[in-house]
Amino acid sequence: MKDIGLNNNCMLKESNLLSIQVALIALTLMAASCKTPVIAQAKKDGFIRIFDGKTLKGWEGDPHYWRVENGNLTGEITADKLLKSNTFVIWRGGAPTDFELKLEYRISVDGNSGINYRSEQLTEPPYALRGYQADIDGKNRYTGQNYEERGRTTLAYRGQKVTVNSPEDPTALVRDNVKNNAWTHTVLEGSLGNIDSLRTHIKVDDWNECHLIVKGNRLQHYINGVLMSDVTDNDTINRKMGGLIGVQVHVGPPMKVEYRNILLKQQ
């Protein structure tokens, strides 16, 4: 009887230990399940976060103008640090070809900025990019249009669906095919809405959502879910099919622009 009692005590302890282990596993699974929807959603959508909201890890720019503040990628020009040329903070994680980019931005009323993509970095001036740009400004005169920085200039104004063609003379300089700050070899294919009516969808001095869909030679810019410009680039001489991503602070008066929740999905 004495031995049986000892065996029962051992079995009871083992049973209690097993129950504790099962409970710990259950708690671990429950904790993991709380995170699963976010992780699963990220995998399902295919988007990855390319700005951590804490540091400039993976990005490179002039620290006089770029920093992380309140979880936002922040560019600022102050009265004592005016710019002589546009400057970018550049994502160093690759040179995407076909992709979607989603982010939120807020810009001061006097601000001028933009999101460059399929771009190349110049040697001078420092942190300068040449390439497609989803234009952004505080007064929303240009926001949503497709502007090629240091290249063919305006490809599509807000509200335009266009086809961009090559110049007739392939040896001509790019600037010889630009007039009134716009590429002269574009064909207007349709309207996405009145330029001023579309402006009403864009908030002033508040957070807006920007979504770029870049696939092949088609480039679409959305602001707050509304298609603002749609470019099909058939200019095989000057178009780019891949390159750097960066965001800009533009020469001009003191300004501030902030970016957050920067998500990228590559095709």
Segment 201-217 shows an average pLDDT of 98
Question: Could you give the CA distance from residue 38 to residue 43 in angstroms, rounded to a whole number?
Answer: 9
Q: How far apart are CA 30 and CA 33, in angstroms?
A: 5
d(CA 227, CA 158): 9
DSSP of 23-69: HHHHHHHHHHHHHHHHHHHHHHHT-EE---SS--TTEE--TTTEEEE
| Distance, CA of 134 to CA of 214 (rounded, Å) | 11
Residue appearing with tokens 């988007």 = 47
Q: How far apart are CA 231 and CA 216, in angstroms?
A: 11
Q: How confident is the model at residue 233 (pLDDT cuts 50, 70, 90)?
A: very high
Find the Cα–Cα–Cα–Cα dihedral 44, 49, 50, 51, rounded to 10°.
170
Model pLDDT for residues 2-46, shown as the tens digit of each residue: 444 444 444 444 444 445 454 444 444 444 444 433 333 444 589
Residue 112: closest CA among 80, 139, 146: 139
pLDDT per residue as tens digits for the range 53-97: 999 999 999 999 999 999 999 999 999 999 999 999 999 999 999
